[in-house]
Amino acid sequence: MVKKFPIGWGTLEILEVTVGGDKMYQQIAWTVTLFLVFLIALAFSFVYGESKRLNEYGPIQKKGYKIRKYYFIGILAVMAIISAVTLTRLPYHHEAAAEDYKSVDVEGIQFAWNMSEDKFVVGEPIEFRVTSTDVTHGFGLYDENLQLIAQTQAMPGYTNSVYHTFDKPGKYQILCMEYCSVGHHIMVKEIIVTDSERGNE
């Protein structure tokens, strides 16, 4: 059964459904229809009202350009602050090794690290010259809390340098960061950093 409801410009037809003897109208369709009609009428009213207003374009353009200038300056300031905070913390230091850097040769093999020296002093600048004799390894230098503090690739036929200055004593570890076969997990090298040349940890 169809019921008809007059609505201004025409008639809204709603299907009346009977389920188990109880009448059930499509209330959802009715509510949604009325809501959409209201939104459309509101939009037309807004457009019609705004079309009656006459504004000079010049002042509006001037105000818009002024606001845009401040937005641009604000965005540049935010980008500069973010860049200053984040870029200075990147671990990729492109610095040439000075004469006072101690050069340490590091050779990665399956499954160990061979180093020309494994004992260092706090405050001593170190240049780790890293290479590999077999496959590619990942040279990762970790502190006692297993936080990564320096890294580079150990590749056959290439020598990559990574620079680091230890700021506190302790036992550090070099771990392989790239899977290099079944013994990858045992590829660990411990190094000792002391307060002074006397060897006090």
CB 122 within 8 A of CB 194: yes
* Dihedral (CA of 174, 179, 183, 185) sign: positive
User: Which phi and psi (to 5°) does residue 57 adopt?
Assistant: -75, -30
What pLDDT is attached to residue 33? 85
Residue 22: which pLDDT band, with cuts at 50, 70 and 90?
very low
Q: How far is CA 136 from the centre of its chain?
A: 27
What pLDDT is attached to residue 83? 85
Say if residue 111 is preceded by a cis peptide, omega within 30 of 0.
Answer: yes
Q: What is the pLDDT of residues 44-57, one digit of tens each?
A: 888 777 766 666 66
Average pLDDT score, the chain: 80
DSSP SS3 for 118: coil
Q: Which of 201, 196, 128 is nearest to 171 (CA)?
A: 201
Q: What is the pLDDT of residues 127-177, one digit of tens each?
A: 999 999 999 999 999 999 999 999 999 999 999 999 999 999 999 999 999
